[in-house]
Amino acid sequence: MSLDPSLDQALRAFITADQGGFEDLALRLFAWQRQHNPDYRALCADAPAPTRWQEIPPVPVGLFRDLPLTSFPPEQARVLFRTSGTTVGKRGECRALDTELYDLGARRHALACLGPLPAAGVALVPYEADSSLGHMCQDFVPGMPTFLTPERGLDLAGAWQALAQAREPLFLPTTAFALDALLDEGPAAPLPLPAGSLVMVTGGGKGREMRRSEAELVEQTEARLPGARVVGEYGMTELSSQLWSERPGLPYRPPPWLGVQALDPATGAPLPPGSEGLLAFVDLANRWTVLAIETQDLGVVDPAGRVQLRGRLSGAPLRGCSLAAAEALDRR
């Protein structure tokens, strides 16, 4: 199964060399996916034909828990990424035939935002076969060990030891939660890392309580690991592209093949630029599933197309004979 060869080639050319126009490619990919993806076709059945990329109907990320959403027969999938599933029991699944565009795009945009990546690393991200984050990090620095495993959890002592042994610039990809835990341990004195080292912080606490705010996390990382630059990465299993920030908390920069807009949470309608809303993406690297995704993250897209994250849409109150008694116990 492959794309229309000319579209396939055009997507690759755009992602690797900026050749072509984003909107034209987005509309062509949408038309192809609607034809080959029965779930997406059903979801778009009542939607008018888009004439701009912003009009391409986005799929709520939650539907990846319930539908295959593949633009090929799902049983032919050779790649399976799963969401972490930390907030609800059922995990979302994203299937693909390959990761070619994913890998090309991830490397190119990381290079554009960060410069050359270190050749060595110490990871605090999961490497399970179904982790897209682990896949990306291992692609960036092949052979990099991880100190976060399902069997042992976070091996903080091992991570500190590996950091102490660094003799060349290091890449340290970590979730915010793992970094928070890392800073709770290790030597009290600063541990200088070789110049050019990068700490990549991604994700929040995944619903777990963190001891430090984002700003404290960055400040203390810079103080404990001098010589390393701390950058932010925003990505999700349902997207094939990532956004990078020069520093967690600052705006995130999408690649040219990723359109971003903010939607009205209530209606799903696009909001004027500069408004805070639900972030929705049109990702040309999402070749095998659906290119348009509606997230549950809030943000503002600035005139330059950069994204300021504003956290997750607060969950609606549980309905039903409810949980108010918890309030009676709260902070007694």
Judged by the rule CB under 8 A, the positions of this chain that interact with another protein are 38-39, 42-43, 45-46, 59-60, 62-63, 66-67, 264-268, 278, 294, 296, 313-332
Judged by beta carbon, residue 64 or residue 244, the one nearer another protein is: 64
Q: Is 319 left (phi over 0), alpha (psi -120 to 50) or beta?
A: beta
Judged by beta carbon, residue 151 or residue 330, the one nearer another protein is: 330
Judged by beta carbon, residue 165 or residue 267, the one nearer another protein is: 267
- Going from the C-alpha of 149 to that of each of 129, 134, 284, the distances in angstroms are 12, 11, 32
Cβ at position 75, least distance to another protein in Å: 18
Judged by beta carbon, residue 89 or residue 142, the one nearer another protein is: 89
Cβ at position 47, least distance to another protein in Å: 10
Residue 154, classed as helix, strand or coil, is strand
Residue type, 32: W
Judged by beta carbon, residue 60 or residue 186, the one nearer another protein is: 60
Cβ at position 82, least distance to another protein in Å: 18
Cβ at position 209, least distance to another protein in Å: 17
- Which residues are CB-neighbours of 228 under 8 A, at least 6 positions away? 170, 172, 193, 197, 198, 199, 221, 222
Cβ at position 266, least distance to another protein in Å: 4
Nearest alpha carbon to residue 154 among 170, 135, 174:
174
Judged by beta carbon, residue 63 or residue 250, the one nearer another protein is: 63
What are residue 297's phi and psi, to 5 degrees? Answer: -100, 140
Cβ at position 249, least distance to another protein in Å: 24
Q: Are 70 and 95 in contact (CB under 8 A)?
A: yes
Q: For the purposes of burial, counting CB atoms within 10 Å of the CB of 166, is it exposed (0-12), middle (13-18) or buried (19 or more)?
A: buried
d(CA 139, CA 171): 12
